[in-house]
Structure 1
Amino acid sequence: WESGWVQANTSYKSFSPVQVNADIGLHIGLAGVNVTLRGNPVQQINETIDYNEHFPWSFGADYDHSYSQGLHKGLPSPILYVAEKFSSQSPCAVHRQYRIAGHYASAVLW
């Protein structure tokens, strides 16, 4: 549906001054949001930086719960930052627009 990539120097973990060079990708689909974080190079700060996380919003799915699980798992800051923009409590208010559009598009395709 919509997707994009950006290369950034960003903090990797909360409350850490360590910066990594990474590609951050976003794919907004009918069933949810995929956020990708891939380091340039993949091995940095003694870790492998290669994540692809899915946050669903299809019928029966709870996006905010998926986001909370990501917080509890300790996902990297860039992934949580992007995912937060699509939560129902975000001031950006894009969650409702994309979710409803996804439901209608799925119904039309069905």
Structure 2
Amino acid sequence: MAEETGHGGRVKHPKVQQWYWIWQKTISFENGKSSVEKDPYEWCLRQSKRLKAIDSQMNAQMSNHKPLKKIPGELDHAVKFRCNQSCTLDEIANTLHDVRKIKNIGKHSP
């Protein structure tokens, strides 16, 4: 059985690999800003999956509302104003989509 080696030919320890993977997911979540080009539904789902990968014990309410902190500027305020504490991820994604569509917030105009 061939062992996977890291930099310098050293064997990677499984715990180190797991830690590194979780660290990468954490960085991906932290850098995952909502943008104009991204579909709100896909973005919310991706952020939620990243949070579950980082902490599988996180409750649903926390994993639904943590992505709200990643929404920029005016869009953030408009979405948070329309979502209560018991909103599901689907409701947040729908609200994000509707606010962007109605208010034209977060869209670049040439």
Normalised to the residue count of structure 2, the TM-score between the two structures is 0.31
**Structure showing greater Rg:** 2
More helix by share: 2
Higher relative contact order (CA 8 A, sep 6+): 2
TM-score normalised by L of structure 1: 0.31
Give the strand-richer structure, 1 or 2: 1
